[in-house]
Structure 1
Amino acid sequence: MIINLSPSSCSLSLARFINSKSHISRLTKTHFSKSFSSSSSSTFHSKNQFLHEKNRYPFGRRRDFRSWVIPGFDFGSNFESTQSVLEAVGVLTAIIVVHESGHFLAAYLQGIHVSKFAVGFGPILAKFNAKNVEYSLRAFPLGGFVGFPDNDPDSDIPPDDKNLLKNRPIFDRVIVISAGVIANIIFAYVIIFTQVLLVGLPVQESFPGVLVPDVRPFSAASRDGLLPGDVILGVNGIDFGKNGPSLVTEVVDVIKRSPKRNVLLKIGRGGGNVDVRVTPDENSDGTGRIGVQLSPNFKISKVQPKNILEAFSFSGREFWGLTYSVLDSLKQTFMNFSQTASKVSGPVAIIAVGAEVAKSNVDGLYQFAAVLNINLAVINLLPLPALDGGTLALILVEAARGGKKLPLEVEQGIMSSGIMFVIIVGLFLLVRDTLNLDFIRDLL
């Protein structure tokens, strides 16, 4: 039920923008979107740890030295914030529509009866009917579903109709259930291909030290002289001898171990080096903090493909690199679930991340959308109740039993338990993530 959007293995690919090793910059999020109808193919989205790391010279940036990490919405500019939130919601809604359209088209093209196509969930805001299908827009745009009339008591279709989904051969049903995942995989590749054509292939060049993209006002770092754009080259007299995301962890660990004690930072600034002594403030848990955002120090440049074949080559390399990183990150999440369970968040956090990506870097929306598509595809293949993978698992059990279905009450019990779990966890995360937003915490 957890997807890691912060793969730890990064190569010259879109995965460079994602790193799970930064303690300061860690953010975890999970998004549920479901139909709670027993006769629907529903969508469950889960996203974990989407980290965007900015460099000294980001392409397409809107604001200097903005970290892509966000603990909550920034309402410093109402218009810009609203625009960014709408862009993030738009990306998420498009991904959901693509997923559900995959289910819908796979059924429609096979002549299978479909009764509903909904964008969002909850109360209906607008709807229309065409060819015996109800198309609706619902109040909460973070979900969607395709409904089938198989078990609808109000349907006038005979229960033995061969074009009901439940009466179709196993292979036909597998195509319908897996089509949402396939649609998201295709959409992710299309997004990456579009980025390669319009923006170019991101290429990373690493530099020594740890970048300080942002310094919070009135923090220990601000008080003691750290500036946005500074590069930390060493700590307590020890120069960094290597590059990489692990340097961020090293700096964070030193700061956390040194509340109210001087920490000597060697700073690269304006072509020269200066020493800055910072005295971390003490958190409620006894650890130190200085109020900065950190990221690995690198520069992103872009390489334009020379021809269409090279564009396909670039896109394929980016797509497979990102997919491998997502799968590896998911594996690491499950292997360390006791440490990561408390980090899971909900749709509010995803919108917050997407809004900050849109605000900081328009081009970053490409990575944001591609990552969410791949993660949605992966999570929906997990054999868990209320996911596409859970439905596929039941179909495979049926195939193993020689085409003999499980008793209806058993299937309904399995799916109902999964749906109830999704509802409970989803509501909990929705409330928790909302309360964790900066502007909400300020109000409280």
Structure 2
Amino acid sequence: MKLSNPTFHAVHPPHISSKHIHLLHRSLISIARAVFYTSRVDIHLETGLILGHGLFLDLILGISRVLQSVLEAAAVLTAIIVVHESGHFLAAYLQGIHVSKFAVGFGPILAKFNSNNVEYSIRAFPLGGFVGFPDNDPQSDIPVDDENLLKNRPILDRVIVISAGVIANIIFAYTIIFVQVLSVGLPVQEAFPGVIVPDVRPFSAASRDGLLAGDVILEVNGSELPKPGFNAVSEIVDVVKKNPSKYVLLKVKRGQEDFELRVTPDENYDGTGKIGVQLSPNVKLSKVRPNNFMEVISYTGKEFWGLTFSVLDSLKQTVLNFSQTASKVSGPVAIIAVGAEVARSNVDGLYQFAAVLNLNLAVINLLPLPALDGGSLALILVEAARGGRKLPLEVEQGIMSSGITLVIFLGLFLIVRDTLNLDFIKDLL
């Protein structure tokens, strides 16, 4: 019943097509930028005064845009957690099963209120959430043999409660896509050679060596970039990260002119290279809108199943190549960073961002691991295989407690690591 940590690749433009979910699932946050946009600054040599042409206003507007996009992405993530836990809660409530807690987040309580013997709370660590049951609460005044305790219900009732969170996320994902199709239409894209540079950070390596916003990078170190551009973005990022303080030869298209440009990456605190640009696949976007309600249903179904199978494929690739992908697993900070990048590009992109997050959460929560819904279902299957005899309470509690502890420590590690990987944090180090 906890939020696992699906991983994502930071992409431009905001459309998240079914072909690119495996890239989203394995995050490379190095191109998820939180950039403050400022206007030109002149230095008056005689007086030493810095004359900022709209600098302060641009800085305030830039900060405002960044904060707005971060809040939008955080709101999406929080809504998905609430939907997941609401699935568990409603499945229990509608069956008359006792519920004692409904929490968003883990750890110390930041805010709470009580209603109908249920404690609703917001907690310190935004790693997921949980629904609590009074089954083994020593402070509960409910008799241990009460038939409305979750542990005393038949196996089918418990399976419904545990799987309801996943079902809620799947329904929510379908609903999001349905609303997208009905309101703004589905984005489609045509890929072109190269990678676009939407923005170059002032005083960065790219700015220093002559790369401009609007340039299209066609080749890196003599190697032509592949299509689609999402793979090309990853290729550029990998080359730059591996070559700190060593020049990278770029073939650039500017207007109608093609030329070569040497860019020498600066060195990050972790020893990797950076050049200070945003990168975007060179694609042309358009939207397909339905002509009638039957087309709404058809488009929604095709997009839903396309995204679902892509998420499943991305999970398979992650498992099969775990030694290469483990370091790219990302937590809530990285997820919000990617969502903020999508929101800054085009708020419509939040539809598919939210749909993919829901499907990721649903799929990963079904894995038979402690602290996940799949782990609880696995224990019920063991009980069924034992003819209805449960494992000893101490064994079950030990398994689940170890899983929760692992999730919390892993989540804290990812929060710290992903925070240190944010660009503005790197600039301070």
1:277 aligns with 2:258: no
Question: Runs of 5+ in structure 2 lacking a partner?
Answer: 38-58
Establish whether residue 157 from structure 1 lines up as the match of residue 119 from structure 2: no
| Partner residue, 2:6 | 3
Select which of 302, 311, 317 maps to 2:287. Answer: 302
The answer to whether the 8 Å contact 1:2/1:48 transfers is no
Q: Distance in 2 between matches of 1:239 and 1:70?
A: 23
User: Structure 2 counterpart of 1:84, which letter?
Assistant: S
Amino acid at match of 1:371: V
2:178 aligned partner: 193
Look up the equivalent residue of 1:274 and give its one-letter code. Answer: D
Match of 1:424 among 401, 409, 412: 409
How far off its partner does 1:246 sit? 3.9
Deviation at 1:370, TM superposition (A): 0.9
Q: CA deviation at 1:255?
A: 5.6
| 1:338 paired to 2:354 | no
Q: Taking structure 1 as reference, are residues 253 and 366 closer, same or farther at Cα in structure 2, changes over 3 Å only?
A: closer
| Partner SS for 1:195 | helix
Cα distance change on mapping 1:440 and 1:200 into 2, 3 Å: same
TM-score computed with the length of structure 2 as normaliser: 0.82
For 1:309, the aligned partner's letter is: M
> 2:10·2:32 contact (CA, 8 Å) conserved in 1?
no
**Which residue of structure 1 aligns with residue 76 of structure 2?**
91
CA contact (8 A) 1:385 1:417 kept: yes
Aligned to 1:63: none
Relative to structure 1, the CA distance from residue 109 to residue 73 in structure 2 (aligned partners, 3 Å threshold; closer, same or farther) is farther
Aligned residues: 398
Q: From the superposition, tell whether residues 145 and 74 of structure 1 become closer, same or farther in structure 2 (CA, over 3 Å).
A: farther
Shift of 1:373: 0.7
Deviations 1:339-362 (A, max 9, x none): 222222322222222222222221
Residue matched to 1:40: none
* Contact in 1 for aligned 2:8/2:28 (Cα 8 Å): yes
Deviation at 1:294, TM superposition (A): 3.0
- Between the aligned partners of 1:294 and 1:72, the Cα distance in structure 2 is 13
Alignment deviations for residues 111-168 of structure 1 (CA, whole Å, 9 cap, x no partner):
11112222334214130322x3233344555532211111111212111111110011
Distance in 1 of aligned mates of 2:241 and 2:16: 32
Instruction: State the Cα distance separating 1:7 from its structure 2 match.
Output: 12
Query: Which has the higher mean CA deviation after the structures are superposed, 406-415 or 419-428?
Result: 419-428
- Where 2:420 maps in the other structure, the secondary structure is helix
Q: Please name the residue that 1:359 is paired with.
A: 344
**Worse-superposed segment, 180-189 or 82-91:** 82-91
Deviation at residue 238 of structure 1 after TM alignment: 6.9
Q: CA deviation at 1:237?
A: 6.6
Could you say which structure has the higher helix fraction?
Answer: 2
Q: Which amino acid aligns with 1:441?
A: K
Residues 43-87 of structure 1 deviation map (CA, whole Å, 9 limit, x = unaligned): xxxx64277xxxxxxxxxxxxxxxx94255759523222222221
Q: Residues 347 and 430 of structure 1 are in contact (CA less than 8 Å); yes or no, is this contact kept in structure 2?
A: yes
- Equivalent AA in structure 2 for residue 387 of structure 1: L
CA contact (8 A) 1:13 1:321 kept: no
Q: Distance in 1 between matches of 2:238 and 2:428?
A: 31
Counterparts of 1:57-96 in structure 2 under 5 Å?
A: 69-70=31-32, 76=59, 77-96=62-81
Alpha-carbon offset, residue 202 of structure 1: 1.0
- What is the CA distance between 1:263 and its match in structure 2? 5.5
Between the aligned partners of 1:288 and 1:138, the Cα distance in structure 2 is 37
Equivalent residue letter for 2:277: V
Distance 1:49 1:301, change over 3 A: same
Mapped partners of 1:141, 1:402: distance in 2: 39
Query: Which of 98, 101, 111 is the aligned partner of 1:116?
Result: 101
Find out whether 1:144 has 2:148 as its counterpart: no
C-alpha distance in structure 2 between counterparts of 1:431 and 1:257, whole Å? 23
8 Å CA contact 1:71–1:436 kept in 2: the answer is no
- 1:266-304: per-residue Cα shift (whole Å, max 9, x none)? 43322x123132142364798765443333311110010
Does the 8 A contact of 2:16 with 2:353 survive in 1?
A: no
- Cα–Cα, structure 1 residues 431 and 364, in superposed 2: closer, same or farther, change >3 Å? same
Q: SS of 2:146's equivalent?
A: coil
The TM-score normalised by the length of structure 1 is 0.80
Structure 1: give runs of 5+ residues left out of the alignment: 21-26, 28-46, 52-67
* Partner AA of 1:123 in structure 2: I
SS of match in other structure, 2:137? coil
Return the offset for 1:328.
1.1
Superposition pairs for residues 27-426 of structure 1, below 5 Å?
Answer: 48-49=26-27, 69-70=31-32, 76=59, 77-121=62-106, 122-130=108-116, 132-140=117-125, 142-234=127-219, 244-248=229-233, 251=236, 265-270=250-255, 272-281=256-265, 283=267, 290-426=275-411
- The range that moved more, 147-156 or 137-146, is 137-146
Q: Distance in 2 between matches of 1:7 and 1:73?
A: 14
Pair 6,243 (structure 1): closer, same or farther in 2 beyond 3 Å: closer
The residue identity in structure 1 corresponding to 2:17 is L
- Change over 3 Å in CA distance of 1:213–1:111 after alignment to 2: same
Cα distance change of structure 1 residues 299 and 16 upon mapping to structure 2, 3 Å threshold: farther
Corresponding residue SS for 1:188: helix
Contact 1:103 1:178 in 2 (8 A): yes
Asked whether the 8 Å contact 2:33–2:341 carries over to 1, the reply is: no
Deviation at 1:88, TM superposition (A): 1.7
> Residue 190 of structure 1: CA displacement?
0.5
The Cα RMSD (Å) is 3.1
Deviation, 1:16, is: 5.0
Distance 1:230 1:420, change over 3 A: same
Tell me how far 1:259 sits from its aligned partner.
6.7
Output one character per residue of 1:14-53: Cα deviation in whole Å (capped at 9) or x when no partner.
3356562xxxxxx8xxxxxxxxxxxxxxxxxxx64277xx
